[in-house]
């Protein structure tokens, strides 16, 4: 049997429980063809690079599969029919990685840092700017002709 890494994107408006039901459905299908699914990683609801069928986000899932090609072909056929699956990609690999995928490592690294983008933390570490010069009493932002004549 061959080894595969399979990633699919599910619509943003389904719940995480529905995504888990999809995973179980495809695991059952693979086992019917005498294959097995090793590691399954739910990467979460993430923003996608471009809109797909008016969706800006998607649930990402990675599955490591050890199965005959007929099982993978049938799973892909069912994914094409399923309206909840927007995109999928299957790659044949020589061996499965045992550790976490790069996406999960990135998530752990972001969690340890204390948040993702936009988290600025305590801003008291900024230096003081000192006294500012007073603003001009000019409403439209232009200098008046009297100021120009004085110079």
- Chunked mean pLDDT (size 10), the chain, 151 residues: 93 94 95 93 92 93 94 95 95 85 75 61 64 70 56 53
**Residue 1: its pLDDT value, please?**
83
CA distances from 67 to 9, 19, 81, 150 (A): 21, 21, 21, 86
Q: What CA–CA distance (Å, rounded) separates 38 from 62?
A: 10
Strand intervals (E) in 18-140 = 36-52, 55-67, 85-93
**Residue 149: its pLDDT value, please?**
56
**Residue 83: its pLDDT value, please?**
94
Does the model's pTM come out above 0.85? no
């Amino acid at each position: 049997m061959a080894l595969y890494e399979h990633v699919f994107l599910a619509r943003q408006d389904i719940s995480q429980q529905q995504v888990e039901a999809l995973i179980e459905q495809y695991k059952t299908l693979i086992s019917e063809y005498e294959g097995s699914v090793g590691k399954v990683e739910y990467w979460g609801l993430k923003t996608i690079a471009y809109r797909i069928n008016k969706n800006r986000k998607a649930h990402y899932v990675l599955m490591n599969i050890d199965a005959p090609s007929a099982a993978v072909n049938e799973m892909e056929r069912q994914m094409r029919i399923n309206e909840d699956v927007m995109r999928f990609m299957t790659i044949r690999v020589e061996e499965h990685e045992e550790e976490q995928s790069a996406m999960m490592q990135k998530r752990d690294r972001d969690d340890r840092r204390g948040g993702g983008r936009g988290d600025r933390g305590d801003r008291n570490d900024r230096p003081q700017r000192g006294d500012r010069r007073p603003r001009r009493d000019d409403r439209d932002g232009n200098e008046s002709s009297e100021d120009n004549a004085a110079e």
